[in-house]
Amino acid sequence: MFGLFRKSSQAERDRAAAIKQMVREILALGEETTISVSEIQCGDAACPGTETVILVMQPGVKTRAYKVLAPLLEVERAEVEQALAG
């Protein structure tokens, strides 16, 4: 899990980069768009636990947030496509 007190592993960094590329391809985004991928652990009992959050930040457009209900290292392209479509 990414966090303030722990460095991400190389595998996590690689997977985050792969997810960013998926998002860029699926949404046909240019290099001017910033994409952030983070794994978070929700502390609320109603939350599903660990999830991956994707932020898409385009100049002049409100930031869009998407969630995949899976840990970063387990996120598959189909889940990214589903999150971006919903």
Cβ–Cβ under 8 Å, residues 54 and 19: yes
Structure confidence by residue, pLDDT tens digits, 66-76: 999 999 999 99
| Dihedral pair phi/psi, residue 72, rounded to 5° | -50, -50
Domains and CATH numbers, the chain: 10-85 (3.30.160)
pTM value?
Answer: 0.87
Taking Cα atoms as reference points, which of 26, 46, 32, 37 lies closest to residue 66? 37
As a whole-number percent, the residues of the chain with pLDDT over 70 amount to 93
Q: Report whether 69 contacts 86 (CB < 8 A).
A: no
Q: Output the pLDDT for position 6.
A: 61
Give the pLDDT confidence score for residue 72 in this predicted structure: 96
